Amino acid sequence: MAGSVNKVILVGNVGKDPEIRRTQDGRPIANLSLATSETWRDKSTGERKEKTEWHRVVIFSEPLCKVVEQYVKKGAKLYIEGALQTRKWTDQSGAEKYSTEVVLQGFGGTLTMLDGAGGGRGASGGMGMQESGGGDYDAGNFGGGGGGYSEPAPKRVTKSGGGAAAPKGGFDKALDDEIPF
């Protein structure tokens, strides 16, 4: 294989309110702990068992840090995409320690709130942001789901003029005529 892949996808609940720190030049860094759980039924006893894994998540993307700072609270359900990184550090007693973290920065860092803004204590619907390369940030996944409210779909302006709503599927009828196959 010519390359390799380092991609982590997690869906879980935030264990405590996120911590936002700032670098010396003022850039935010968000730290949070995310719990993922696995449940099964013990075959011998029939008892339901659960195992919880705790994941350290570090976010270096400024737009994602703003979302975390404003909306993510303890108990919030998140979808996270990032890369696994292990760093070496020295504790106060001089012992070398290692920490493995899911890091969101650069290409592919994604955070989506699955239970709406405010950790499920307010409006329903998801909020997500994805960091793309080159400084462009794509905000998406707003509204929808969960039985709350969602914003009505915006009207779409077509080449043929007017403010007609987009047909189902999000395609223009005028555009369909221009497809060469």
Range of the domain at 169: 153-181
Residues 91-147 pLDDT 10s: 999 999 999 999 998 767 899 999 865 544 432 233 444 443 333 333 333 333 333
How many domains does the structure of the chain reveal? Answer: 2
- Tell me, yes or no, whether 110 and 163 share the same domain: no
- Tell me, yes or no, whether 59 and 128 share the same domain: yes
- Tell me, yes or no, whether 160 and 135 share the same domain: no
Q: What is the CATH classification number for the domain harbouring 117? A: 2.40.50.140
| Torsion sign (Cα): 79, 81, 85, 91 | negative
Percentage of the chain beyond pLDDT 70 is: 62
| Torsion sign (Cα): 125, 77, 119, 64 | negative
Which residues on adjacent β-strands are paired with residue 130? 110, 138
**Structure confidence at residue 1 as a pLDDT band (50, 70, 90):** low
Q: What is the DSSP pairing of strand 96-104 with strand 48-59?
A: parallel
